[in-house]
């Protein structure tokens, strides 16, 4: 028998819905203060529907979009809980409008050959890579 959409969920039900282990949910509780399940006697956790949406958003950002925990914490701080709760839904933007994604072209170019005079192993690898690169 399925529960009503607004019913509370246990940690095992949430873990099954999100396809993550229970210990990951407990870890996320320690990293994201916005996740606050109701706790009953014996430490049993009950997640509200809003908690479940937030967890879905966090899971999507971490596993689907490749964010780090710090990156998701920054999004929660700058964009708010509602943004993260809605980010997992189809048709929603996963990146805030104010911060465009960095492109690969923004990397610094290789150092010129004149700068690679050091004889250490690290610079020898750079020198070899620099000699192999194709001129434009």
Q: Tokens 């409008």 — which residue?
A: 97
Query: Is 9-96 a domain of CATH 3.10.129.10?
Result: no
Per-residue pLDDT tens over the stretch 60-72: 999 988 999 999 9
Per-residue pLDDT tens over the stretch 7-37: 899 999 999 999 999 999 999 999 999 999 9
Distances (CA, A) of 59 to 28, 34, 135: 10, 14, 43
Query: What pLDDT does 110 receive?
Result: 47
How far apart CA 112 and CA 72 sit, in angstroms, is 37
Q: Is 19 left (phi over 0), alpha (psi -120 to 50) or beta?
A: left
Query: What pLDDT does 14 receive?
Result: 93
How far apart CA 76 and CA 85 sit, in angstroms, is 10
Q: Are 95 and 101 in contact (CB under 8 A)?
A: yes
Please name every residue paired with 47 in a beta bridge, in sequence order, or none if there are none: 9
- The structural domains of the chain, with segments of one domain joined by +, span 9-96, 107-136
């Amino acid at each position: 028998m399925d529960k009503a959409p607004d019913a509370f969920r246990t940690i095992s039900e949430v873990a099954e819905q999100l396809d993550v282990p229970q210990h990951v949910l407990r870890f996320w509780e320690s990293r994201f203060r916005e996740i606050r399940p109701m706790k009953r006697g014996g430490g049993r956790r009950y997640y509200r529907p809003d908690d479940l949406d937030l967890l879905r958003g966090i899971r999507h950002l971490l596993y689907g979009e490749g964010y780090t925990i710090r990156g998701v914490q920054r999004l929660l701080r700058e964009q708010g809980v509602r943004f993260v709760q809605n980010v997992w839904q189809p048709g929603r933007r996963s990146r805030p409008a104010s911060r465009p994604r960095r492109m690969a072209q923004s990397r610094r170019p290789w150092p010129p050959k004149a700068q690679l005079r050091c004889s250490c192993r690290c610079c020898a690898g750079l020198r070899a890579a620099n000699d192999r690169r194709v001129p434009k």
